[in-house]
Structure 1
Protein backbone atom coordinates (compact mmCIF):
# COMPACT_ATOMS: atom_id res chain seq x y z
CA UNK A 1 0.00 0.00 0.00
CA UNK A 2 1.29 3.47 -0.86
CA UNK A 3 0.16 6.22 1.47
CA UNK A 4 -0.15 9.57 -0.35
CA UNK A 5 0.97 12.84 1.18
CA UNK A 6 3.84 11.49 3.28
CA UNK A 7 6.41 14.18 2.60
CA UNK A 8 9.67 13.23 0.95
CA UNK A 9 11.25 16.08 2.91
CA UNK A 10 10.21 17.26 6.34
CA UNK A 11 9.19 20.94 6.09
CA UNK A 12 11.20 23.36 8.21
CA UNK A 13 9.43 26.04 10.22
CA UNK A 14 10.41 29.63 9.40
CA UNK A 15 13.44 30.93 11.28
CA UNK A 16 12.15 34.49 11.17
CA UNK A 17 8.67 35.88 10.99
CA UNK A 18 5.60 36.33 13.06
CA UNK A 19 4.29 34.23 15.90
CA UNK A 20 1.51 32.61 13.90
CA UNK A 21 3.84 31.57 11.08
CA UNK A 22 6.19 30.05 13.66
CA UNK A 23 3.42 28.13 15.45
CA UNK A 24 1.94 26.86 12.19
CA UNK A 25 5.39 25.94 10.88
CA UNK A 26 6.35 23.93 13.94
CA UNK A 27 2.98 22.17 14.03
CA UNK A 28 3.24 21.24 10.34
CA UNK A 29 6.77 19.98 10.85
CA UNK A 30 5.72 17.72 13.71
CA UNK A 31 2.76 16.39 11.73
CA UNK A 32 5.15 15.53 8.88
CA UNK A 33 7.65 13.87 11.22
CA UNK A 34 5.01 11.44 12.50
CA UNK A 35 3.98 10.62 8.93
CA UNK A 36 7.63 10.06 7.98
CA UNK A 37 8.11 7.69 10.91
CA UNK A 38 5.38 5.51 9.40
CA UNK A 39 6.65 5.65 5.81
CA UNK A 40 7.68 2.41 4.15
CA UNK A 41 6.19 0.06 6.76
CA UNK A 42 3.37 -2.43 6.27
CA UNK A 43 0.32 -2.78 8.51
CA UNK A 44 1.91 -5.54 10.61
CA UNK A 45 4.95 -3.37 11.33
CA UNK A 46 2.75 -0.36 12.07
CA UNK A 47 0.92 -2.49 14.67
CA UNK A 48 4.19 -3.62 16.26
CA UNK A 49 4.90 -2.38 19.80
CA UNK A 50 8.44 -1.38 20.71
CA UNK A 51 8.93 -3.10 24.05
CA UNK A 52 6.68 -5.16 26.28
CA UNK A 53 4.64 -4.48 28.34
CA UNK A 54 3.94 -1.33 26.27
CA UNK A 55 1.35 -1.74 23.54
CA UNK A 56 2.23 1.62 21.97
CA UNK A 57 2.46 1.36 18.16
CA UNK A 58 2.96 3.75 15.27
CA UNK A 59 -0.59 3.06 14.06
CA UNK A 60 -1.88 3.73 17.56
CA UNK A 61 -0.02 7.05 17.66
CA UNK A 62 -1.59 8.09 14.35
CA UNK A 63 -5.06 7.14 15.63
CA UNK A 64 -4.40 9.02 18.87
CA UNK A 65 -3.28 12.16 17.05
CA UNK A 66 -6.41 12.07 14.88
CA UNK A 67 -8.47 12.18 18.06
CA UNK A 68 -6.27 14.89 19.59
CA UNK A 69 -6.55 17.09 16.48
CA UNK A 70 -10.32 16.56 16.48
CA UNK A 71 -10.70 17.25 20.18
CA UNK A 72 -8.72 20.47 20.40
CA UNK A 73 -9.52 22.10 17.09
CA UNK A 74 -13.04 20.93 16.35
CA UNK A 75 -14.62 20.34 19.77
CA UNK A 76 -12.80 22.88 21.94
CA UNK A 77 -11.78 25.65 19.53
CA UNK A 78 -14.67 25.57 17.05
CA UNK A 79 -17.39 24.21 19.35
CA UNK A 80 -18.39 21.46 16.93
CA UNK A 81 -20.24 18.33 17.95
CA UNK A 82 -17.38 15.98 17.05
CA UNK A 83 -17.34 12.89 19.28
CA UNK A 84 -14.16 10.84 19.71
CA UNK A 85 -13.23 8.59 16.82
CA UNK A 86 -11.23 5.77 18.40
CA UNK A 87 -11.88 5.99 22.14
CA UNK A 88 -14.85 6.26 24.46
CA UNK A 89 -15.63 7.02 28.09
CA UNK A 90 -15.50 3.26 28.68
CA UNK A 91 -12.12 2.89 26.91
CA UNK A 92 -10.11 6.11 27.19
CA UNK A 93 -7.07 4.45 25.58
CA UNK A 94 -9.00 2.91 22.70
CA UNK A 95 -7.20 5.15 20.21
CA UNK A 96 -3.91 3.46 21.11
CA UNK A 97 -5.27 -0.08 20.87
CA UNK A 98 -5.08 -1.54 17.39
CA UNK A 99 -6.31 -4.88 16.15
CA UNK A 100 -5.58 -7.01 13.10
CA UNK A 101 -8.65 -5.44 11.48
CA UNK A 102 -7.29 -1.90 11.80
CA UNK A 103 -5.43 -0.66 8.73
CA UNK A 104 -2.96 2.14 8.39
CA UNK A 105 -4.74 3.29 5.26
CA UNK A 106 -7.87 4.00 7.30
CA UNK A 107 -5.96 5.46 10.27
CA UNK A 108 -3.89 7.71 8.02
CA UNK A 109 -6.91 8.92 6.02
CA UNK A 110 -8.77 9.75 9.23
CA UNK A 111 -5.75 11.57 10.66
CA UNK A 112 -5.26 13.60 7.48
CA UNK A 113 -8.96 14.48 7.44
CA UNK A 114 -8.76 15.72 11.02
CA UNK A 115 -5.62 17.74 10.25
CA UNK A 116 -7.40 19.42 7.34
CA UNK A 117 -10.43 20.17 9.51
CA UNK A 118 -8.08 21.56 12.21
CA UNK A 119 -6.45 23.87 9.67
CA UNK A 120 -9.91 25.06 8.60
CA UNK A 121 -11.01 25.67 12.20
CA UNK A 122 -7.91 27.74 12.92
CA UNK A 123 -7.64 29.61 9.62
CA UNK A 124 -10.05 32.45 10.33
CA UNK A 125 -9.25 32.74 14.01
CA UNK A 126 -6.88 35.08 15.80
CA UNK A 127 -4.33 33.54 18.16
CA UNK A 128 -6.14 35.41 20.93
CA UNK A 129 -9.61 34.06 20.06
CA UNK A 130 -11.07 31.97 22.87
CA UNK A 131 -12.54 28.54 22.43
CA UNK A 132 -16.19 28.26 21.40
CA UNK A 133 -16.62 24.75 22.79
CA UNK A 134 -16.23 23.33 26.24
CA UNK A 135 -13.22 21.47 27.57
CA UNK A 136 -13.72 18.82 30.24
CA UNK A 137 -11.67 20.96 32.67
CA UNK A 138 -14.05 23.90 32.28
CA UNK A 139 -11.09 26.15 31.46
CA UNK A 140 -10.94 28.50 28.49
CA UNK A 141 -8.18 28.23 25.89
CA UNK A 142 -7.16 30.55 23.08
CA UNK A 143 -5.82 29.38 19.73
CA UNK A 144 -2.26 30.27 20.77
CA UNK A 145 -2.44 27.86 23.71
CA UNK A 146 -4.03 25.12 21.59
CA UNK A 147 -1.35 25.38 18.90
CA UNK A 148 1.43 25.38 21.50
CA UNK A 149 -0.12 22.36 23.20
CA UNK A 150 -0.42 20.54 19.87
CA UNK A 151 3.28 21.13 19.17
CA UNK A 152 4.08 19.70 22.62
CA UNK A 153 1.76 16.74 22.05
CA UNK A 154 3.35 15.88 18.70
CA UNK A 155 6.88 16.41 20.03
CA UNK A 156 6.28 13.97 22.90
CA UNK A 157 4.71 11.34 20.68
CA UNK A 158 7.30 11.80 17.93
CA UNK A 159 9.87 10.81 20.55
CA UNK A 160 7.85 7.65 21.12
CA UNK A 161 7.65 7.15 17.35
CA UNK A 162 11.46 7.41 17.09
CA UNK A 163 11.90 4.57 19.55
CA UNK A 164 9.16 2.41 18.04
CA UNK A 165 10.53 2.85 14.50
CA UNK A 166 14.07 2.07 15.63
CA UNK A 167 12.84 -1.13 17.30
CA UNK A 168 11.05 -2.19 14.10
CA UNK A 169 13.80 -1.71 11.52
CA UNK A 170 16.62 0.35 13.00
CA UNK A 171 15.64 3.55 11.19
CA UNK A 172 16.55 6.76 13.01
CA UNK A 173 16.45 10.47 12.23
CA UNK A 174 13.74 13.11 11.87
Structure 2
Protein backbone atom coordinates (compact mmCIF):
# COMPACT_ATOMS: atom_id res chain seq x y z
CA UNK A 1 0.00 0.00 0.00
CA UNK A 2 1.40 3.40 -0.94
CA UNK A 3 1.30 6.53 1.24
CA UNK A 4 -1.73 8.00 -0.49
CA UNK A 5 -3.76 4.81 -0.06
CA UNK A 6 -2.62 4.65 3.57
CA UNK A 7 -3.91 8.19 4.22
CA UNK A 8 -7.25 7.34 2.60
CA UNK A 9 -7.50 4.22 4.74
CA UNK A 10 -6.75 6.25 7.88
CA UNK A 11 -9.48 8.71 6.91
CA UNK A 12 -11.97 5.86 6.46
CA UNK A 13 -10.99 4.27 9.79
CA UNK A 14 -11.40 7.58 11.59
CA UNK A 15 -14.87 8.02 10.11
CA UNK A 16 -15.95 4.47 10.91
CA UNK A 17 -14.80 4.77 14.50
CA UNK A 18 -16.85 7.81 15.50
CA UNK A 19 -19.76 7.26 13.10
CA UNK A 20 -20.35 3.75 14.46
CA UNK A 21 -20.94 5.30 17.88
CA UNK A 22 -23.88 7.41 16.68
CA UNK A 23 -27.20 5.64 17.05
CA UNK A 24 -28.89 4.92 13.73
CA UNK A 25 -32.24 5.61 15.38
CA UNK A 26 -31.27 9.20 16.20
CA UNK A 27 -34.25 11.44 15.60
CA UNK A 28 -34.23 14.64 13.56
CA UNK A 29 -34.77 16.52 16.82
CA UNK A 30 -31.65 14.91 18.28
CA UNK A 31 -29.62 15.72 15.18
CA UNK A 32 -30.58 19.42 15.29
CA UNK A 33 -30.46 19.80 19.09
CA UNK A 34 -28.09 22.46 20.41
CA UNK A 35 -26.98 22.40 24.06
CA UNK A 36 -27.06 26.21 24.09
CA UNK A 37 -28.08 28.93 21.61
CA UNK A 38 -25.81 28.95 18.55
CA UNK A 39 -24.04 25.84 19.83
CA UNK A 40 -22.95 22.78 17.92
CA UNK A 41 -25.46 20.17 16.75
CA UNK A 42 -24.80 16.73 15.36
CA UNK A 43 -26.29 17.62 11.98
CA UNK A 44 -24.28 20.84 11.64
CA UNK A 45 -21.10 19.00 12.59
CA UNK A 46 -21.73 16.30 9.99
CA UNK A 47 -22.32 18.83 7.21
CA UNK A 48 -19.26 20.78 8.34
CA UNK A 49 -17.10 17.63 8.28
CA UNK A 50 -18.22 16.91 4.71
CA UNK A 51 -17.71 20.50 3.58
CA UNK A 52 -14.21 20.73 5.04
CA UNK A 53 -13.20 17.46 3.35
CA UNK A 54 -14.56 18.72 0.03
CA UNK A 55 -12.88 22.10 0.41
CA UNK A 56 -9.40 20.95 1.40
CA UNK A 57 -9.13 17.71 -0.57
CA UNK A 58 -11.30 18.29 -3.64
CA UNK A 59 -10.82 22.02 -4.10
CA UNK A 60 -7.38 22.83 -2.68
CA UNK A 61 -5.53 19.52 -3.19
CA UNK A 62 -7.05 18.63 -6.56
CA UNK A 63 -8.17 21.95 -8.00
CA UNK A 64 -11.83 21.01 -8.36
CA UNK A 65 -14.32 23.89 -8.25
CA UNK A 66 -15.74 24.21 -4.75
CA UNK A 67 -19.46 23.54 -4.73
CA UNK A 68 -21.89 23.90 -1.88
CA UNK A 69 -23.18 20.59 -0.65
CA UNK A 70 -26.62 19.95 -2.04
CA UNK A 71 -27.93 23.30 -0.86
CA UNK A 72 -27.16 22.44 2.76
CA UNK A 73 -24.57 25.17 3.16
CA UNK A 74 -23.49 25.78 6.71
CA UNK A 75 -19.78 26.46 6.24
CA UNK A 76 -20.11 30.18 5.51
CA UNK A 77 -22.37 30.70 8.50
CA UNK A 78 -20.17 28.97 11.07
CA UNK A 79 -18.00 31.00 13.43
CA UNK A 80 -16.09 28.26 15.22
CA UNK A 81 -14.13 30.58 17.48
CA UNK A 82 -17.10 32.78 18.34
CA UNK A 83 -19.23 29.62 18.77
CA UNK A 84 -21.95 30.42 16.28
CA UNK A 85 -23.33 27.32 14.61
CA UNK A 86 -26.58 27.43 12.64
CA UNK A 87 -29.33 24.92 13.22
CA UNK A 88 -29.12 22.41 10.37
CA UNK A 89 -32.15 21.44 8.32
CA UNK A 90 -34.05 18.53 9.86
CA UNK A 91 -33.09 15.32 8.13
CA UNK A 92 -32.67 11.72 9.28
CA UNK A 93 -29.19 10.45 10.05
CA UNK A 94 -29.26 8.53 6.76
CA UNK A 95 -29.24 11.88 4.90
CA UNK A 96 -26.12 13.05 6.70
CA UNK A 97 -24.41 9.67 6.27
CA UNK A 98 -25.21 9.74 2.57
CA UNK A 99 -23.63 13.19 2.31
CA UNK A 100 -20.48 11.92 4.03
CA UNK A 101 -20.35 8.85 1.75
CA UNK A 102 -20.80 10.97 -1.40
CA UNK A 103 -17.96 13.28 -0.41
CA UNK A 104 -15.74 10.37 0.65
CA UNK A 105 -16.22 8.52 -2.63
CA UNK A 106 -15.24 11.68 -4.50
CA UNK A 107 -12.21 12.07 -2.21
CA UNK A 108 -11.09 8.51 -2.95
CA UNK A 109 -11.44 9.10 -6.68
CA UNK A 110 -9.60 12.42 -6.71
CA UNK A 111 -6.90 11.77 -4.12
CA UNK A 112 -6.52 8.15 -5.24
CA UNK A 113 -5.69 9.38 -8.74
CA UNK A 114 -2.70 11.35 -7.46
CA UNK A 115 0.49 9.43 -8.08
CA UNK A 116 2.85 11.58 -6.03
CA UNK A 117 2.63 11.57 -2.22
CA UNK A 118 4.81 14.71 -2.30
CA UNK A 119 2.07 16.55 -4.23
CA UNK A 120 1.66 20.19 -3.22
CA UNK A 121 -1.21 22.61 -3.68
CA UNK A 122 -1.68 26.35 -3.29
CA UNK A 123 -4.27 28.24 -1.31
CA UNK A 124 -3.62 31.82 -2.21
CA UNK A 125 0.10 32.31 -1.68
CA UNK A 126 0.47 29.44 0.78
CA UNK A 127 1.66 26.02 -0.32
CA UNK A 128 0.34 22.85 1.33
CA UNK A 129 1.70 19.34 1.02
CA UNK A 130 -0.67 16.44 0.50
CA UNK A 131 0.58 15.02 3.80
CA UNK A 132 -0.50 18.22 5.59
CA UNK A 133 -3.86 18.33 3.82
CA UNK A 134 -4.69 14.70 4.61
CA UNK A 135 -3.54 15.03 8.23
CA UNK A 136 -5.55 18.21 8.66
CA UNK A 137 -8.74 16.58 7.36
CA UNK A 138 -8.22 13.41 9.45
CA UNK A 139 -7.60 15.36 12.67
CA UNK A 140 -10.43 17.79 11.94
CA UNK A 141 -12.85 14.94 11.38
CA UNK A 142 -11.76 13.06 14.52
CA UNK A 143 -12.23 16.24 16.58
CA UNK A 144 -15.70 17.04 15.30
CA UNK A 145 -16.79 13.39 15.08
CA UNK A 146 -16.01 13.04 18.78
CA UNK A 147 -18.06 16.17 19.45
CA UNK A 148 -21.01 14.63 17.60
CA UNK A 149 -20.84 11.46 19.72
CA UNK A 150 -20.61 13.52 22.91
CA UNK A 151 -23.53 15.72 21.82
CA UNK A 152 -25.73 12.66 21.37
CA UNK A 153 -24.90 11.48 24.89
CA UNK A 154 -25.41 14.97 26.29
CA UNK A 155 -28.74 15.44 24.50
CA UNK A 156 -30.11 12.11 25.68
CA UNK A 157 -29.09 12.82 29.28
CA UNK A 158 -30.56 16.34 29.13
CA UNK A 159 -33.98 15.08 28.06
CA UNK A 160 -34.35 12.26 30.57
1:42-97 CA distance string (max 9 Å, x none): 21111122x324521111111001101110111101111123331465x345xx42
What stretches of structure 2 of length at least 5 have no aligned partner? 80-84
Would you tell me which structure has more strand in proportion to its own residues? 2
What is the CA deviation profile of residues 87-128 of structure 1, one whole-angstrom value per residue up to 9, with x for unaligned ones? 465x345xx4234x4313433322211111111111021221
Q: Secondary structure at the match of 1:141?
A: strand
* Alpha-carbon RMSD: 2.7
Q: Report the secondary structure of 1:140's partner residue.
A: strand
User: 2:140: which partner in 1?
Assistant: 153
CA contact 2:18–2:142 (8 Å) conserved in 1:
no
Q: Does 1:47 find its partner at 2:32?
A: yes
Structure with the larger helix share: 2
TM-score, structure 1 length as denominator? Answer: 0.71
Aligned length: 148
Give the structure, 1 or 2, with the largest relative contact order (CA under 8 Å, sep 6 or more).
2
Q: What is the aligned partner in structure 2 of residue 23 from structure 1? A: 7
TM-score by length of 2: 0.76
CA distance in 1, matches of 2:5, 2:65: 28
Partner of 1:103: 91
Counterpart among 98, 110, 121 of residue 121 in structure 1: 110
